[in-house]
Amino acid sequence: MADKAGKPSVKVIAQNRKARHDYFTEETYEAGVELFGTEVKSVHGGNVNLRDSYCYVKDGELFASGIHISPYEKGNVFNRDPLRHKRLLMHKKEILRLHARVSRDGYTLVPLSVYLKLNKVKIELGVCKGKKHYDVREDTARRDDKRQMEIYLKNSRN
C-alpha cells in the first residue's frame, strides 16, 4: 500500500492536540506498539484516546501509559485492559538516546499521534518541554491575530 510517489500510505487514527497546546515539541520519533489482536482491531476502528498519556523508560524498555484503547465491541474474553501500559518498539540505541534527553530537567516524552503505516500501528513520540502560562497566552494571541487577518483579507476582497 503505497501512494503514486512510492511512499508508504499513512492513516492518522488519533492526535494528542492537548500535548501540542501544552508543550514545545523539540524532536519527534516513530515507534511501533506491542498490541494484542482485539486492540489492533479497535485501533483500526479509531477507538484511541491519547489525552493525558506519557512515555517512560524502565529497564531499558520504552512504555506508554495513559493511552486508552477502547475494548473491541465483538471481542470477548480476549479484550485487554484499555489503560494497560503498552510496550513501544524501538532500537535499543534510540531508547537510550531518548532516556538521556528526557532525564534533563523539564523534558518529557509524549505520544503525539497514533497512525497506521502499511497496516502497522505506529506512535509518533515527541521530546517535549512544558510551556509556561505566558507561552500559551502568546500562542493564543498569535492564532487570534492570524484569524483576524484572514477575516479582514477575505472581507476586503469582496
60: DSSP letter: T
CA distance linking residue 43 with residue 99, whole number of Å: 27
- What domains appear along the chain, each with residue ranges and CATH number? 10-131 (2.40.280.10)
pLDDT tens readout for residues 33-47: 988 878 888 888 888
Asked whether the predicted pLDDT for residue 91 surpasses 90, the reply is yes
In one-letter notation, the amino acid at residue 49 is N
Asked whether the predicted pLDDT for residue 1 surpasses 60, the reply is no
Give the mean pLDDT of 140-156: 87
pLDDT of residue 90: 92
pLDDT of residue 26: 87
32 to each of 10, 77, 157, how far by Cα in Å?
Answer: 14, 25, 48
CA distance linking residue 124 with residue 82, whole number of Å: 19
Q: What are the backbone angles phi and psi of residue 119, rounded to the nearest 5°? A: 65, 15
Asked whether the predicted pLDDT for residue 149 surpasses 80, the reply is yes
What is Dmax (Cα atoms) for the chain?
63
Going by C-alpha positions, the residue among 114, 112, 117 that lies closest to residue 10 is 117
